[in-house]
Amino acid sequence: MTSSAPSPASASVLDLAPVVPVVVVEDLDDAVPMARALVAGGLPAIEVTLRTPVALDAIRAIAAEVPDAVVGAGTVISARNVADSVAAGARFLVSPGWTDSLLTAMRGAGVPFLPGVSTTSEVVALLERGVSEMKFFPAEAAGGTAYLKSLGSPLPQARFCPTGGITPASAPSYLALKNVGCVGGSWMLPADAVAAKDWARVESLAREAASLR
């Protein structure tokens, strides 16, 4: 999600929906129906985190079977993660932080990406490298809306997807900020609904999240 590498489907993943679901897939059989429910609720950009053994297979399944989903990979922390995710069909990449070597790998992947930041110096360093769209993580612990608002005046060219501790109650205050394109969260995927495979409830919660802005 650099200005030099826009998504082929959109100018920016930040603008696809107000909320990007952050998904941890434990059971591969859940991946496709979960993604279909999220898309039906109005949340097409889906970040599947690389935290489980089936994550890459989940990305592959969603990419193949849910054409209206814009599936991405999260918790990308190495060049191998980048290569494996893109090979599986990820259409964007999200990292919790960044290094020069990781940034190089993401730049070379040919898909939009959001490197993670939590300090002003990290933001400035990315702007210096031509990257203007970032993940702000962990949002609540790193200063929340007050911190992001304070970055707006000196660094107006930076746009963020805050993730980490955001709830339906706090999301609107983030989305009201000029430098926030969307937020990341998992509240539309409560553990009990996923365990019960209650995709109708997931779709309903996704619809509520999609209407936050």
Catalytic residue numbers read 47, 135
Sign of CA dihedral 29, 32, 36, 37: positive
Interatomic CA distance for residues 170 and 70, integer angstroms: 25
Q: Are 12 and 38 in contact (CB under 8 A)?
A: no
Please state the φ and ψ torsions of residue 163, each to the nearest 5 degrees.
-145, 140
Q: Are 166 and 174 in contact (CB under 8 A)?
A: yes
- Longest CA span, the chain: 47
Half-sphere exposure of residue 119, counting CA atoms within 13 Å on the CB side? 5
Q: Could you say which DSSP state residue 51 is in?
A: T
Please state the φ and ψ torsions of residue 167, each to the nearest 5 degrees.
-125, 170
Interatomic CA distance for residues 208 and 198, integer angstroms: 16
- 145-151 contact pairs (CB < 8 A, 24+): 145/170, 145/173, 145/174, 145/177, 148/174, 148/177, 148/179, 148/180, 149/177, 151/120, 151/123, 151/179
